[in-house]
Amino acid sequence: MIAGIVGLGLMGGSFAKAYNEAGHTVLAANRTESVLKFAELSGDVAGELTDDRLGECDVILLCTYPEAVVGFLTAKASKIGTKPVVIDCCGTKRQVTREGFRLAEQYGFTYVGGHPMAGTQYSGYKYARGNMFKGAPMVIVPERFDDIELFARIKRLLLPAGFGRISITTAEEHDRIIAFTSQLAHVVSSAYIKSPTASAHKGFSAGSYKDMTRVAWLNPEMWTELFLENSDYLLEEIDNMIRSLGEYRDALASGDRETLLRLLEEGKQRKEEVDG
């Protein structure tokens, strides 16, 4: 198999390592040439993904920001051809798949949206690892939901990454759910660490602090773009959070032990319901 990877950050670098470790040929394109050269020297990448080699690939994984993915597809659509399956790996899906489907139909290549549900708080190729996706979910957003042959093909093409589960959904549903499961968590973590008390945490913090602050160490440029592209759903989740926090605050301010106990019990029960 020949895998083409666009963007050698944490995500793209991990794909490159996974496919290379599985014995496949990896071609890559990256905005910063020095990173591409390092990936080649390390043996993870066999060569540059040039325009004339796009059509050789079995799969092309687009691991950049949504706007950059749209830019790449717009510039390269006429050069992709019919062989590769193109999968974007962006954190939001509505805008990027809208353009991806349109360009795929116009130029005759195969495209689906995708979102690997794995990562760390760090970014960049130096943090990439070949087992990043092992056992993790992968979300696929197709234009049609009745192409069983394409789904089987995608599953085969993604096998070297080691995903534990592949889910299929719409762009709308993806963005609605991801606003809660990922984006809200990053907003809350970023806001939480801004407390004046944070500078005094050493010696007084353990797992709770680490869990709450881990994703505050984010890539501001990438998450700004993702938040703005999904602002409608993210605003709903933030408003829900503000309303819930208001209930806890009111109970504390009034010394209402019964209400506070109820709120905490409801949260515990909800956790049991959704996670077992």
pLDDT at 200: 85
For the segment 256-274, the average pLDDT, to the nearest whole number, is: 97
Residue 222 token pair = 């990438």
Name residue 263's amino acid: L
Q: Can you say how many angstroms the Cα of residue 38 is from the centroid of all Cα atoms in its chain?
A: 24
pLDDT tens-digit profile of 84-110? 999 999 999 999 999 999 999 999 999
pLDDT at 121 over 80: no
Work out the burial of residue 12: count CB atoms within 10 Å of its CB; fewer than 13 is exposed, 13-18 middle, 19 or more buried. Answer: buried
Specify the pairing of strand 137-141 against strand 110-116.
Answer: antiparallel
Tell me if 3 sits within 8 A of 15, measured CB to CB: yes
pLDDT of residue 15: 98
Find out whether 136 and 118 touch, Cβ atoms under 8 Å: yes
Q: pLDDT, tens digit, for every residue of 142-188?
A: 999 999 999 999 999 999 999 999 999 999 999 999 999 999 999 99
- On average, the pLDDT of the chain sits at 96
- 220, 222, 228, 234: CA torsion to nearest 10: -80
Q: pTM of the entire structure? A: 0.92
pLDDT in tens, 210-262: 999 999 998 999 999 999 999 999 999 999 999 999 999 999 999 999 999 99
Rounded to whole angstroms, the maximal C-alpha distance in the chain is 70
Burial 75-94 (b: 16+ CB within 10 A, else e): ebbeebeeebbbbbbbbbbb
Domains of the chain, start order: 2-169 (3.40.50.720), 174-275 (1.10.3660.10)
Residue 202 pLDDT grade (very low, low, confident, very high; cuts 50, 70, 90) = confident
Burial class of 233 by CB neighbour count within 10 A (0 to 12, 13 to 18, 19+): buried
